[in-house]
Amino acid sequence: MRGFQFKRGRGLMPTSMKLFCLALFVGTNLLAQDTNLVEKPPLENTATITFSGLYNGINPWTNFAVVHRPMPPAYQPLLSPSPRTRPVDGGNLNVAITWDNACVSNHGFNQNVRDHTGDNSGIHHELGGGVLFGTSRYSMSFSKPVEISSLWWTYYLPYSFGANRGSISVFKMRDDVIPLKSMELDYFDSMGYVWHELTNFSGMLISKMVFDPGIEGYGLNVDDMVVHTKLN
């Protein structure tokens, strides 16, 4: 490095001094290139919504005197994950969710509920056991496109001819009326809460997901939704 070859008599700068100057030069350049090294939590690109953060033992959202409640708009697992749940509910994806006609149920106040996550470890209702739920059509919309690579679904009532036949549809844009893809859900199990995985929406960027239980009164439950986004 010619810029650092200072004369000392007829010789060059000692090796130790060269190394010191080189480290100073490199460090200065790194600081100049990045001025945003201050306390910004990194955005993630994958998170699993377990619907258990609603019951974290701090501020339960629900009235436990009833078997299910409307999904509170403040429940935003892709903006504010719940680190006290095991596993963590949600992640820092910077995605807001709009819930329409969606409900939430939980083992703590309806002991018939058997969630897929299997994280109901509280004495009563404080940890885990939550599911997304609805007896009529409900939806969730995302503030930016996401991919849903996997989710688990079930009914809380056993198979009845023609009744347990619902669907889950995904839409490219929130205002679209024609789905990007729609999957029929045929539930032939002789008991409720037999969970089935759906992976047919993997690879699609969507802005809305609509859940149709089919015949009203046969509740469609959803759990453990794996969400991906593109990092900016």
pLDDT above 70 for 16: no
In the chain, DSSP finds a helix count (H) and a strand count (E) of 1, 11
Q: Which pLDDT score is estimated for 31? A: 41
Distance CA 222, CA 224 (A): 7
Rg of the chain over Cα atoms, rounded to whole angstroms, equals 26
Report the range of poorest mean pLDDT among 68-77, 87-96, 102-111, 219-228.
Answer: 102-111
* Alpha-carbon gap, residue 107 to 55, rounded angstroms: 10
Name which of 110, 147, 123, 143 is nearest 221 in CA terms: 110
Confidence of residue 219 (pLDDT cuts 50, 70, 90): confident
Q: Is the pLDDT of residue 126 over 60?
A: no
When the pLDDT of each residue in the chain is averaged and rounded to a whole number, the result is 77
**Confidence at residue 127, expressed as pLDDT on a 0 to 100 scale:** 52
Cβ atoms within 10 A of the Cβ of 9, count?
5
